[in-house]
Amino acid sequence: GLVRDSQGRKMSKSLGNGIDPLVIIDQYGADALRFMLATGNAPGNDMRFIEDKVKSSRNFANKIWNAARFIMMNLPDDFKADKLPENLNVEDKWVISKFNTLAKEVNDNLDKFELGVAVSKLYDFIWDIYCDWYIELTKPRIAAGGETEATAQAVLVWVMKGMLKMLHPFMPYITEEIWQALPHEGDYLIRAQWPTYRQEFDFAAEERAMEAVKDAISAVRARRAEMNVPPSRK
């Protein structure tokens, strides 16, 4: 398909509606442009170039960057975690199981050349499940220290590295930059082993339990907003 302008018109010199990719890259970054084009991609269909979508992709890159900074700020200098610990909490098994399912679905989508669907699933997992929920759930554990902190750190790094591997074809620059900052084996991210579905990471019971907790928290937040209860009030 063609990349058309925001009004659906074909880009041409006579209309003066062409987009210079180098200008967009200078403003928002190559990763943001690549991600926007991949997100709007459906085989055989035209897509519209909308600058706000590039801004949204840049914000997504910032979200990943800030998540990586949070992890790095809370890792000890001698941190080493080649595999997941055995003493996992419910939320740990939940995010691992969710990522395991994501790996299976994204691989299926890529095999069918459904790039847009694969990217959307990665976006939803990284933004909502990992950043908005799991990182927030680990903050009290990291503050508490001890064994629960070490487990949270290991899971944070393990899932982040898996996300970077799957996002790398779509956002190669930021993912490589973060990969080099995280504890890792090998040299470059492009040579890292691609994530696949693994039966031992399927924690169905913990997923259901955690989803119930999420639903309860979301319901309470919604009701508080409806009743105009200030955040400081119980």
Residue 70 pLDDT > 90, yes or no? yes
List pLDDT tens digits, range 72-127: 999 888 887 678 988 899 999 999 999 999 999 999 999 998 999 999 999 999 99
Spatial CA neighbour of 85 closest among 142, 152, 161, 134: 152
Quick: pLDDT tens for 18-66.
888 999 999 999 999 999 989 877 777 888 888 899 999 999 999 999 9
Percent of the chain residues topping a pLDDT of 90: 70
Are the C-beta atoms of 190 and 168 separated by less than 8 Å? yes
Residue 186's alpha-carbon distances to 173, 178, 182, 189, in angstroms, are 17, 14, 12, 8
User: H or E segment at 100?
Assistant: helix 90-111
Q: Which residue has the higher pLDDT, 226 or 40?
A: 226
Does 226 score more than 90 pLDDT?
yes
pLDDT band (50, 70, 90) for residue 11 = confident
Task: Answer with the residue of higher pLDDT: 1 or 114.
Answer: 114
* pLDDT band per the 50, 70, 90 thresholds, residue 4: confident
In the prediction, which pLDDT does 213 show?
93
pLDDT band at 163 (very low <50, low <70, confident <90, very high): very high
